Structures are given as C-alpha cells and as structure tokens.
Structure 1
C-alpha cells in the first residue's frame, strides 16, 4: 500500500462520494478533493496534482466521465480508475480508448478498490520508469547519431517545408474550389493552369478537362465595349485589369461576367501568369435592362400624359371651329375644307387617346367596323405623304367580313407597319396591303399557338425592302428596340402593334429574310353575321334659354371658342382668365350666373379648388369641369364629393352643349 498517495474522487452522487472518501481515508490514502462534474475533475487535477483519480462515468455537465478521463490522461498523465454501475458495450469501448488503469463495476468490495489503486500506482510508476529509460536510450541514440542528424537536418527541413507548402496549396485550392466565382489561372500564352469548379460549371467544361488547354478552345471572350480595353495588354502594363467580358462557350449561350485580372510575377519579378476572377452577371444585367425599360416606360408615360394634355388643348378649338364652319350654310367652298380639318382633328385626337391607351395598357371602345374602308383612308394618306418612288397597293376580298374593335387602333397598326415598310425602302419599291377572309381550322391553330379556330380577317402588309435577319426579327416587338438611326425611331411602333393585336384577341406573324422584304400578317377575329354595324343617328344639340354661364379657362383660343359655341346656342357668357378671376367674378354676379364651365388646369387657382370655393358660395350651382387629361386620370373622389359634370378634351360642340344642358337640368330637378 502506498499511504502517501493522493486520491481525487469524481462522483455526482453525494452519498457514494462520501462513502468513497471514508474508505480511502480508512485505507490510509490522502483524499485531495471530491468533485461532481467532469469539468471540475479536469480543472482540479491540474491544480491539485493527485496520484490517482477515481472517476464515475456518468456525470452531469457538458462532458461525461469518459471524456474527462481522456483529458486528464492526455493533459496530466495521471492514472484513472473508472467506477460505474453501467457495463454496456458502447461505454466499455469508449472507456478502453482512454487508457484508464482499471474499470470497477458498482458495487465493489473495498479490497478490490485498494488493489486497483495500488496496481494503478505501480503501473504508472513502471510507465514512468519505462519512459525515462526510453528517453535515456533515445538521448544516447541521438548523441551517437548527431552527425547523421545534422547531415539530414537540411533535408528534413526541406521535406517539412515542402509538405507544409503542399498542405497550404491543397487548402488554398480547396477554398478556391468552393468559391462561387469562376477562378482561373492562365499563362501568358493563354493556356489554362488552374480552373475551379465554378468556372467548369459556368463554361460547361467537364471536371478536370481545362488544365493545359488553351482558353480559346473552351470559350471566346471579348470586352463588352471598346472602352473596357484589352485585358491581357492592360494587365501586363498596369498589373491589373477590371471590366466586363462577354463569354461564349461552344454550343452555349452568351455569358456576361465582371472580370478581374491580376498579373502574377515570379521571384525575379518576371510576369508568368494571370490570376482571373469572373463573376457571372448575366441575370443581373437582364434585371438592370428590365428595370431601365420600366423606368423608360414610366418616363414615356409621364411625357405622353403631358403632351396629350397640350395636344388636347390644341385639338378642341380646331374641332369646334371646323364644326362651326362645316355647319355654316353660307360657307360655300369652305365647307369641304372644314370637313377635312374636322376629320383630321378627330383622327389626331384619337391618336392621342391611342398613345395614352398604350401607356396605361388599357383597351379602348370596341365597335363593329369595316376594315376595307379604314384601309382605303390609310392608302390615300400614304400616297399623299410617301415619296413618289414608293408605290402603295390595296386589295381586298369582296365581300369582306367586318371586325369588332377600336378603328383608331387598327388605323394606327396599319400606319405603323407601312411607315416601317417605307423606312425599309430607301431607294423606293412597293408596299401592298391585302385584306382577306381567313378561316383558322384545328390544324392551323395547332401550328400557331396564339390562334383559336374561327373566322378571321387577315391583314397583310408586305414590302420589297431590305428585310431582316433572324436576330433582328426576334427582337422587333421589344419596347424601345429599333434598328433606325438616332432621332428616327423610338422603338415603340411594333410594340404598340403587338399590344393592339393581342388586345383585339388576334395574333400576328412575320415572314422576312435579308434582301427578301418583309410580310406582316395580322389576324383579327371577324364579326358573326348577326352582328350588324350600328349606324349612329345624328343628334340635335340642345339649346339654352338665355341662361348666364361663367366660362373660366386660361387658354384664350379655347375660352373664346367655348364662348362662341354657347352663345350660338342660346346662352349668355361671362369669361374669366383664370381661377382667381373666375372666383371674384362669381362672387360679384352669383345671383345672375346659372352655371359654370371651368378648366381644371389653370394657374394660381386650379379648377378643382375654384369649384370648391364657388360651391362654398353657392352649394347648388351646376359646374362643368373641363380637363385636358383623360377622365380616368381625374380625382374621382373629389368629383363625386362635389358632384361635378366632367368633360374631357378634346370635345365637340355637341359634347359641350350636352354636358352644360345635363348639368343645368340636374340642378333644376334637385338631383345636384
């Protein structure tokens, strides 16, 4: 027995721990501590330096007795004896791996524990002696082989350094291989020295097949623009190149990458290779382009809205003046000219509405109409405006079915297609418009995904111009895409054509080839035979009975033409130049004024604010609010609250007189 041996007890059950402590003291051992967790056991072994540790396997805390024993043996070389009530195979296997000196199963006899402790102390002492002998022998061997060690020292260091370098290289290669960016190393001749997995995926290269091959064999690359410069020349000159490259792998689609080239030099400072990091930004560029197109469309919408407002202010006096001239029985030769002005003004106003329809993406009014009548009008305009070297032809089936749609929009489709054909005929040529009845059967619908079986009108616009390549043809319906020089095209014409055709539940097709001209085929659903084209009966404009009306508009020509129309139909008129003038005039003459015609967009005090102020003075006064914007863009909630009559520019005399009459009648009947 070794009475002076220091014993450290690790047991989480206090009664068992106290019993062990009592037994150890009874046997003459020095108990240097009793602890309940593995963490305490490891820490206190280092602090108290026991000769033997009695370790319970199942301990509370983050580490159990087996792990605590492993650390104690490894850190402090103190023998450990396991005490446990568990004897399962897994625990035994774990315990064996810790090189413990004994494993006692509870309950055990005091003599068994004493023998285990003594054997652990003896074995530990033998191990120490053996280690000292081994160290002494090793020391003698080292002394006797000192010359050999010194001779081999340089070689050993070189091998160790090489292994460390290889390990570091493998580690770096593993990190590079996990990178999401495509990473390549190329020598100065373009041969690939290294290619990570991301690069293999990006360029569709089989794993391990890139090294040693020329980059040009695997993909073609070139800067996105000339301003980017040549990456090889720039990197050789400046040591680095940053820019965007377009890559095209054999049989693959075009890829755009953000690329960084760094020149690598050897110990002598000579350039040896390029370290290249490529980030795929193909989808990012598509998203940027889409965002840019959206912003441009929003800008076009805002611009179109402003232009439409101004044009509507121009068309309104034109339309009303032309109506007055055309209706004047003493006009003589002026009447036909007035009718031309009136028809052209109506067409211009309809085109403004069409632009706003395109910007908003909404459909206009749909009514039955005959396409051949519209086409005749288009051909007449084209023959008058196109160069003499361009011949325009029209042919159509008789009888030709009618279609239901917006005639102004279809007119715009024909004009846009014919203008495109004109631009494709710089040296002159032929443009033909062909209208034909067409029946889509199931086989035709099967080969044309957008077609549904039924009766259609096929509109073909063909030219003998330059034609288009397949690459251009694939993009012609994209908004803002144009092949025309700057200032000659917006890129919206064919996008508008496609949208109009789709809104009419139709479809379109294009036949073209370089040097072979272009043929656009538009298919529009035809009217059924029982869908007659309604005739619009002429309406007699309502007249006034001497009522005094206040007309407020900052546009002099519009104000005067409204005054003239109202006075010609039985009303008296007081005019105001703007909102403040209208309010002060109404305040003075409120007892005489029967109604107000007020423009929405006036300076100082706009029409809505002016209407509110007038209603504060006379809550039941009828007000017609005139706007250059579409009525769908007006402040609906405010109009409903004020119960105003709304009139959108451009309007006709009849529109004006009906709105005024309706407003006055509503006030008289008490509905306002």
Structure 2
C-alpha cells in the first residue's frame, strides 16, 4: 500500500537537493567510451560559436554605424573572419582526444600572430593604443584551458609586439605614419597594463580551474558513493521511465544499461505489484513522498522483495520534473520476519499444549487413581470367575471400557509431553515393517498402502511403542481423509538438516536425521486448518469419530523425542507429514522381554504409601496375596514414623508421587538417608518432571503390572548385592 502523503517541507527539499548531486554522479557513470571525443567536439563548437559571434559583431557594428573599413577596423574584421574560418576548418578535421590540446595551442599562437600582423599593418608602434585586442586571446585561453595557457598567450603577445617595436626602432621594418606624439611611451605603458591584465586573468583562470577540479573530485567521490550504496537508486522522468540509475539495479534485474534506459519502472516489477507502484508514482508526481513494498523481477524470473521510497524532483521553476528514490532489498528482513512469525506460532502452539498438558496432568492423576481401582478390581473379579459365568462378559466389557479410558488419559499426557518414555536404540524400518499388516487392516481395502524403506537407514533413540502410535495416528488421519479410497505412502530415509532448513524451521536442529514421511492423496487442508492441525481438540471429524487428540498426541510424542514435525497440505492435493528424528551412533539393543513368568516373592517387606484410600486398599490386597509383608501409610509423615518403629529391614518403598504435605520424592530421599539399602518404586498417573522408567509404575496399575514391576526392582537389588559380594 502507498504510504500516507507527507507534508512538503525540509525532507522534500533535502531529497531534491541530494537528488541533483546523485543525478550528476549517475550522469557521469553513464558516459560511454566516446564521451571524451564528444566533449572535445563540444568545446570546439563553443569556440567556433564565440569566434563567429565576435566576427559578426565587429562587422555588424561597423555596418550599422557606417564606420570606415580602412585602417584598424578593416584589419580587425579581417583577422576575426580569418580566425573564424580557421577554427571552422579545425572543427571539421578534429577527432578529439589528446590532439585537441595541441590544436588549441596552435590556434592560440596563430591568433597572436594574426593580431600582431594586423597591428603592424595598422601602424606598429603607432598603433600601441590597440594592444587591448590581445586580451581576447588571453581571456579565452584562461577560460577554456588553464592559467598556464593564459600566461603563454600573454608572453607570446608581448614578445610578438616587442619584436615589432624593436624591428621598427632599428629600421629593419618601416614605420607607418601615425598620430601619436610619443608612441614608445604609449607602447610601453600599454604593454605593462596588458601584462598585468594577463597575470590577473591567469590568477582567475587558475582559481576557475581549481574550482573545476574540486567539482570533478566531488563528482567522482559522489559517483563512487552512489555505486557503493547497496540499494537501488533511480531517477524517473514524468512518464515513470528510467533515466538514471546505479549499477545495483542492473545487478538486480540482470539487464544492461541500454535495456533499462527509457523502461518504465513498473515493467520491472511483478504483475501483481504494478498497480500499487503506478499509484505511488502518481502520488509522487503530486509532490508527495511515497513508500511501498513490491517484488522486483530478476533476469531468471525470480522475484525479490524491495521496499521503494521516492519523492518528486523539483526544477528551477518550482515544477515537478520527475521522481527519484531508493529501492532496498528486504528479502532477508522478510525472511527474518517470517522466521519470527513461525517462532511465535510455535510458541503459541507450545503454550496451548503446555497449558492443556498441565490440566491433563492434574486430571490424569485423579482419573488414573479411579482407573487403577476399576481395572484392578475388575481383574481380581475376572480371576474368581470362569468364562462361562454370566458376569464374566460384563466384567470383560468393564475392563475394555476402562482400558479405553486409560488410553485417552495416555493421549492427554502424550501431547502434554508428560508421559514416561522407554528409550532404546531403534531401527525405524523394523517398527514400520512390524505394524504394516495392522495398518493395512486399519485403513481398509480401498486404500493402497505403499511402504518405501531406506535399507541404509540410520538408528535412532526412541520409544518403539510411542513411534507405533505416531504411525497409527498418521494412518487413521489418512483413512479419514480418503473416504473414497486413495493411496497412503509411508517412507523412511536419511536426511541432513542444514543451516538453511534450520533458518526456515527454527525449532529444528542441524545434523543427521532419520525422516519418517506419511503422504496421502486425500482431500487435504486449507492454510488455516494446517496452521492449527496439531492443536488439541481441533478436528473436522464428527463428534463420534474422535476427540481431535490424535495429531496433538503425535506432536507431543515427537517433541518429547527431541524431534521436529512438519505438515504440507492444500485442498484437493493431499497431506504429507514429515517427522525428523536425530540419528544415533549406538548399536541395536536386544529386545526386552515384557511378558516373562510372574516372579515368586521371597517374603520381602514393602512400605506402601498412598493417599487415595481405594488405591491403597487395592494395592495392599494385591501385594499381600502375592506373599509380601506390607506396611501401610496414608502419607509421608506416617511412613517415616512406621520406618522408625519397624526394627527389621524394609526392602522396598512403594509410594505415590503426588501427595499432600510431603511428596513421594522427598519421602524417598529422607527414608534412604536412614535406610540406604531400601529400594524405591514410585506410582504415578502424572509425574512432572518425568521419572526414570525403571523406578516408575505408571497408573492405572493392574495386578499383573504391579507384580512384575515390584519383582523386577527387588530382583535387581539382589543381583547388585551378589555382584558386590562377588567382587
């Protein structure tokens, strides 16, 4: 858009004043190789015009006043005419360049000789009163050439006339009749006056030449200054056509000087920006400063963003003669602004996710306590009934529903990045291959599944279960976007994120990465939806089809893995999700056996601390049935009191993390200060900051999970003690 009109004032006058200097510098730049020759011929034309003008004036003066053509007047007229004709001959034969100075000195000396001959014919010594005619040559020499030329002309004239006087006084030359009573005194006096005048003219000529030199130096410095400016400087005529510019415009457009001269500035811009620039130029011709942004088209068709400013050029009559201004490349600035906007969008996204994550964490803590009781009691009841019992199927349905609720809670924790991950060295190709059959069943037969895996794919550190959830969410999203069928492509490959990529995506990190890409041929998304696609509860699905947490969960999982995710989509062109995960140099680990046989307890003592009554009773019952001795406390203070009163060993502290008064971490630290041999296992539905996987039992807790985790912690402690004793 065109900037608002500014009042005419000092800014406009300053711009106009500077523009005149810039224009002069630009004009010097645009001189071509024949400029010197043209200048020489121009000076010859000036000299011819001056000489011709003097000759015509003298002849016209004599005709008008009917003066006698005899004597001095006739000689002066003849000399002027002859000089005019001689200079015309020089003009026709001159080629300019260095020969011009030699020709000029020759003409000057010829003029001196002609005047001297004329003075001799007019009376020689008796025509001393006409010595002033020599001043024509000295003045012209000083103005046109230099003070040195003026002194040379003065010396040549003095020597020539002195030679005539000497020759006449010695009788070698005849003395024509004259009317002077004392011609020698007149001649000497006039020669002195003539030489003084010649010296003054030489001084003035030297000052004039020095002024010209300073002006030329200033002009050259200004020219270098203009060329050194990284911005485009331009001068337009009233029609908006380029008349002057600096080299930056040629570099930006790839056009040469002859191609730019006379070209309308708007023709160099992108078509969409020409209307705004035309309006700005019209306002500039109305003596208003303007400012706008538009894109300059390069020789290869690329568009570069420029910020244009301009103001009117005012001539000596106060009229607008054109426009001048500056074009500044703002590509880097706009790129920085886009990066800043991207960071702000990501920051807002993270703030939303963090806020809902905190809310989800609080809800998850209480909700997982409820689910622990529901799932635990349900499994205990299932263990008491046979599949053919009437209540067995009802109990199974309760368990399935509770598991769905637990999955929803895990999704809330995932996009809030509050879940506990099991990191291990992972081959992503193996993860994709392992769930390919399931993905095929998930998306249906009307959607083609294409899997393209890089055989040289690097390894990553990740939680395999969480990455499976990412891939499944991509598949579900693609299925819902292709109700009439299509193609889902899942691809892996090695990529290197360089500085350019990180500059465009500030949240990413440089270095070697593994890329997981999921592309579909579905309906796609508009830009507004694409910007919000990872926000929780944002979905285009019907309420019964989902909560809008799938992609939010993906975003949280990727961020918790230290990765980066992008989405590319447009209406009718499908969607592509790309996940970048850092490569690792670690080697593959042996698979972990999560479903081994249930360990047999050895009568260990467990201190159970849980503030939720229902959860505490359930866990107590399960541990007691497993064969452990259990000390039960409602909070940290009660647990420490039990520890002090209990004289035997306490093998394991099983405690909730979030409790009133003293939380689980503080309790563990204080207990281990007096009982360093006691192992610690935390139970939590939400832990912030997250706890290591080997000391955390994630709620909701089932009896089987509880049995395996407690046994694993105790077995690890026994193994470490045996290793210590053996050492």
| TM-score normalized by the length of structure 1 | 0.50
User: Which structure is higher in helix share?
Assistant: 2
Higher CA-based Rg: 2
